[in-house]
Chains A and B, each alone.
Chain A
Amino acid sequence: DVVMTQSPLSLPVTLGQPASISCRSSQSLVYSDGDTYLNWFQQRPGQSPRRLIYKVSNRDSGVPDRFSGSGSGTDFTLKISRVEAEDVGVYYCMQGTHWPRSFGQGTKLEIK
């Protein structure tokens, strides 16, 4: 199984400052079709997860452009250019290349 490892697990950030979350996979996430199926989800307290990014760097509809995804192979990053209060929650990476699909442990973003 592919293990997804996120860091840090806790991320205190000052409002207006940038934030960055790393996600590393135990195997390459490049699929046979050439695409890399790495997603990022945000889960606000008490809510269902919401997908922010798909295939490494594509923002979902309605996602603010302060969120961006990058990376390749086994090493991926979610960046928030300027953290806002509504960004508080837990962020998960998830790989959709291999079965079983798997999630990272989650990174809890809080306002410092």
Chain B
Amino acid sequence: QVQLQQWGAGLLKPSETLSLTCAVYGGSFSGYYWTWIRQPPGKGLEWIGEVTHSGNTNYNPSLKSRVTISVDTSKNQFSLKLSSATAADTAVYYCARDAYWGQGTLVTVSS
């Protein structure tokens, strides 16, 4: 059974870099798109981007200039970095692969 477990800082100041990591347990790490999605409080889901096991990425153009998604195949982990954070980036961030989702991490950006 595939499980995704994510972690990272939950409180940032404006202009800081958001950093989250997602570890994958069970199943193969190769052959899939590993995805980050976010959900502002009380709002809908927004696709941030994805990475393959070989490091190929696709990003949402609305965030592309600030987003980096990377992969560490030796640890079966993938990571999200979002630079120059503002209050608009406050959201629950999820890592996901198809039907499998992490537990979500609430990230709050506030001075």
- Interface of A with B (CB < 8 Å)? 1, 41, 48-51, 54, 60-61, 92, 94, 99-106
Contact = CB atoms under 8 A, between A and B. Distances in A.
Nearest to A90: B44
A81 B102 CA distance: 29
5 contacts: A41-B45, A54-B99, A61-B99, A101-B47, A103-B44
Contact of A99 (B46, B58, B102, B103): B58
A49 B94 contact: yes
Nearest to A103: B45
Interface string B22-36: 000000000000010
Contact of B99 (A1, A60, A103, A104): A60
Contacts of A102: 47
Contact of B44 (A1, A48, A60, A106): A106
Chain A at the B interface: mostly helix, strand, loop or mixed? loop
B58 A92 contact: no
A92 B99 contact: no
Given A1-B61, A48-B104, A51-B99, A103 B94 contact: no
Given A1-B61, A48-B94, A103 B47 contact: yes
Contacts of B35: 101
Given A100-B47, A103-B45, A48 B61 contact: no
Nearest to A100: B60
Interface in B79-111: 94, 98-99, 101-104
